[in-house]
Amino acid sequence: MKPKLNASNAVAALMCAALILLPVYSAATGNIFILTLFTRIVIFALAAASLNLIMGYGGMMSFGHAAYLGIGGYAVGILAAEGIGSGFIQWPVALVVSALFALLIGSLSLRTRGVYFIMITLAFAQMAYYVASALSRYGGDDGLTVYKRSDFAGLINLSDRNQFYYLCLACLFGGLYLIWRIVNSRFGLVVQGVRSNEQRMQAIGFHANRYRLVCFVIAGTICGLAGALLANNTDFVSPAVMYWTRSGDLMVMVILGGMGSLFGPVIGAIVYLLLEELLSQFTEYSGLILGPVLLLIVLFARGGIMGLLGRMRRG
Amino acid sequence: MADPLLRVDNLVRRYGGITATDNLSMEVVPGELHAIIGPNGAGKTTLISQLTGQVMPNSGTIRFAGRDVTGLPSYKRSRLGLARSFQITSLLKDFSAIDNVALAAQAHDGHSFRFWGNARKERHLRDTARAALERVGLGKRADIMVSQLSHGEQRELELAVALATKPQLLLLDEPMAGLGVTESARMVALLKELRKEVTIVLVEHDMEAVFALADRITVLVYGRVIACGVPDAIRRDEEVKRAYLGEQHAVTRHG
C-alpha cells in the first residue's frame, strides 16, 4: 500500500518532523520545560501505540495496559537498586518480564470476550499494583527512586536531556515501524480478521486465540520498553504508574487519536498530555474539561482525530 | 459404492428439551452433490454446524475421509478439507473482497506467524484469491469492501472464500437465501460447475434448485432422517409427502 497524500498522512508527517526538530527549538529558545514535557509525551505515545496494536487492530479492549509500564519500570528500578546499572541487562529483563506477564494474563483472559475481558485485564493490572505496593524492600507504596539512569557503556548518555529525548523518539519510531510491518503482515491480517469476524476465521482454518495471544504478548513487550524509558525519565518508579486510571489514560489516548490508525495514538498522546498540562495551570479539575472533550470525540468523531482528518479530504 | 467421504453415525444434539439432531446417521460419497432438505426447524443448520465443528454433538460420531473428527475444533477440520458457507452471510466486512479470499488461501498455506513481509504483496496468495473470485464471477469486484457489495455478491464471495481453502467437501448452508431470481439462476449455474470438482453438501429451501442439482437427497424432520435417496425416489416417497405436506406443492410441482 502506497502512502496517500491526504490530511491525516500530512499531519502525521508534520508531527514526526516537529518531534525530530523539537530539541533544536528547545535549545534555540532555552525552553527546557518543553523538552521535558515532550520526552514524557513520546514515552506515553509508545505505550499508547502498543495498546493500539491490541485494541485498535486486534479488537482486544485491555484495561490493564499500564501494568507493563510498571513492570518495565520496576525491572529497571529494582536492578538499579541491587547494583546492576547496565542498560544491556536492565532493558532486556524489562522486556522479557513484560512479555512473560503478558503471556500469563493473556492466556487466561483471552478465554473471555467483551466486558469480561476488560474486567480480567483490569483485575490483573490491579494485582500487579498491589504486589508493587507490598514490595517494602523496594519502597512499597512510596515507590522507588532510581538514583542512576541505565548505563549503556558510554554509547549513549541517558542523563543528557537531548540524547535521552532522541533515544525515546527512536524507540517510538522503531515501535511504530514494527507495528506497521506487523499490521500488514500475514500475522497482522489474521489478527485483524479475528477482530472483524472470529467465527469466520475459525471456519477457514485459523486457531484464532493463538494469534491473539501472540499479539497480546508483543503489545505488552513494547509497553514494557515504554516502562523502562519512563523510569529513566522520572528517575523514579511507583505503584501509581500501574493504577487503573493510568490504563484508562492510555485507552483515552488511543481513542482520542484514532483506534486502528498507526499515528493515532501518537497524536492522541500529544493532545491528551498537552491538554492535561495546559488545563492544570488553570484548574485543579482538568478532568471537567477533558471528560467532555473525550465525550465529543467518541460521539461525533468515530475514529478519533485521525478519523476526522481522514474525512476532511472527502468531506 | 465408494468409501464415504463423510460418515455420520447416531448423532445427537439437544438444546434444553429440544432435540435438534435426533440419532442422525448419513453418508456422503466422494463426488456427489448431496442435498439436505426439511421444513424450518428440522435441524439443518445445527447439523452443518456440527459437521464443521462450530457446535459439538452430545453423542454420536462424525468421520471425515476415514478419520474421526467428532472432537476436532473447526479450524482443524478446515485444514483437513472441510469448508462451509454460512446461511447468514459471515464475512470480514471491513476487508476487501480479495482480502477475504486471500486470508482463506493463507490459512491453508502454512502457519501465519510471519510478522514482517507484506501479506498483500504475496503473489501466490493473491493469485489464488483472484482465481477463486473469477470462478464465482467477482473478478472485477476484487478491491471493493465487503460492506459495499450487494447481497448477491456477498453470497458469491462466501463461496469463493470456501473454494480458496481447497476443500474436499463443501458444506453450503442455503447459498440461495435472499437471492433474486436472476441471482439464484447464476448461483445454480455456478454450483453445476463446482460439483464437477468438489463433493458438496447442500442445504437449501429452493426446491427447484435442489432437484436440479442433487444426486441424492436426505430429508430431515425434527432432527431425524425420514428419507434418503435419489431425487425421483424422494419425490415419490409417501413419508416425505406426509411430513412435508405444507410444502408439498414444491415437491410435486417438479414431479
From the first residue on, what is the mean pLDDT of each consecutive set of 10 residues in chain A (315 residues)? 73 95 96 96 98 97 97 98 96 98 97 94 97 95 95 94 97 98 97 96 95 98 98 97 96 94 96 91 82 84 85 61
Distance CA B245, CA B58 (A): 30
- Say which residue, A268 or B241, is predicted with more confidence: A268
pLDDT at B48 over 50: yes
Environment class of A311 (CB within 10 Å of its CB; exposed 0-12, middle 13-18, buried 19+): middle
Distance CA A219, CA B2 (A): 52
For chain A, the structural domain boundaries read: 40-242
Nearest to A204 among B99, B104, B120 (CB): B104
Nearest to B114 among A186, A197, A206 (CB): A186
**What ranges in chain B are assigned the alpha helix state H?**
44-52, 74-80, 97-107, 123-135, 151-164, 181-194, 207-213, 231-236, 238-243, 248-253
Using an 8 Å CB-CB cutoff, list chain A residues near B73: 202, 207
pLDDT given at position A4 = 66
A260 sits in the region (left: phi over 0; alpha: psi -120 to 50; else beta) called left
Cell 453445476: give the residue: B192
Check B73 against A184: CB less than 8 A apart: no
Distance CA B69, CA B71 (A): 6
Mean pLDDT taken over chain B: 91
Angle at A13 between CA A12 and CA A16, to 5 degrees: 85
Give the strand order in the sheet containing B82-85.
Answer: B82-85, B169-173, B199-203, B33-37, B216-221, B224-229
For chain B, the structural domain boundaries read: 1-81+168-255, 94-166
pLDDT band (50, 70, 90) for residue B190: very high
Cα of A244 to nearest chain B Cα, Å: 31
B160 close to B133: Cβ distance less than 8 angstroms:
yes
Distance CA B86, CA B97 (A): 16
pLDDT given at position A7 = 84
CA distances from B138 to A289, A311, B161, B225 (A): 50, 29, 12, 37
Distance CA A113, CA B72 (A): 22
pLDDT given at position B246 = 57
CB atoms within 10 A of CB B47: 29
Using an 8 Å CB-CB cutoff, list chain B residues near A205: 75, 78-79, 104, 107-108, 165
A227 close to A69: Cβ distance less than 8 angstroms:
yes
Distance CA A196, CA A212 (A): 13
Environment class of B202 (CB within 10 Å of its CB; exposed 0-12, middle 13-18, buried 19+): buried
- Could you report the per-residue pLDDT of B196-215, keeping only the tens digit for each? 999 999 999 888 899 999 99
pLDDT band (50, 70, 90) for residue B1: low
Q: What CATH topology corresponds to B1-81+168-255?
A: Rossmann fold (3.40.50)
pLDDT at B15 over 80: yes
Q: In chain B, which residue's Cα lies nearest the Cα of A202? A: B75
- Sign of the C-alpha dihedral, residues B147, B149, B152, B153? negative
Check B114 against A205: CB less than 8 A apart: no
Q: In chain B, which residue's Cα lies nearest the Cα of A211? A: B113
pLDDT at B253 over 50: no
- Say which residue, B3 or B170, is predicted with more confidence: B170
Set of cell numbers at residue B120: 498483500
pLDDT given at position A152 = 95
pLDDT at B92 over 90: yes
B76 close to A184: Cβ distance less than 8 angstroms:
no
Chain A: which residues have CB within 8 Å of chain B?
Answer: 1, 181-182, 184-190, 192-193, 196-197, 199-208, 211, 214
- Say which residue, A131 or B3, is predicted with more confidence: A131
pLDDT given at position B208 = 86
Strands B59-64 and B67-68: antiparallel
Q: In chain B, which residue's Cα lies nearest the Cα of A198? A: B92
* Predicted TM-score (pTM) of this structure: 0.92
Strands B67-68 and B82-85: unpaired
Residues forming a β-bridge with B9: B61
pLDDT given at position A312 = 72
pLDDT at B252 over 60: no
Q: In chain A, which residue's Cα lies nearest the Cα of B167? A: A204
B12 close to B60: Cβ distance less than 8 angstroms:
yes
pLDDT given at position B50 = 96
pLDDT given at position B130 = 96
Set of cell numbers at residue A290: 477533558
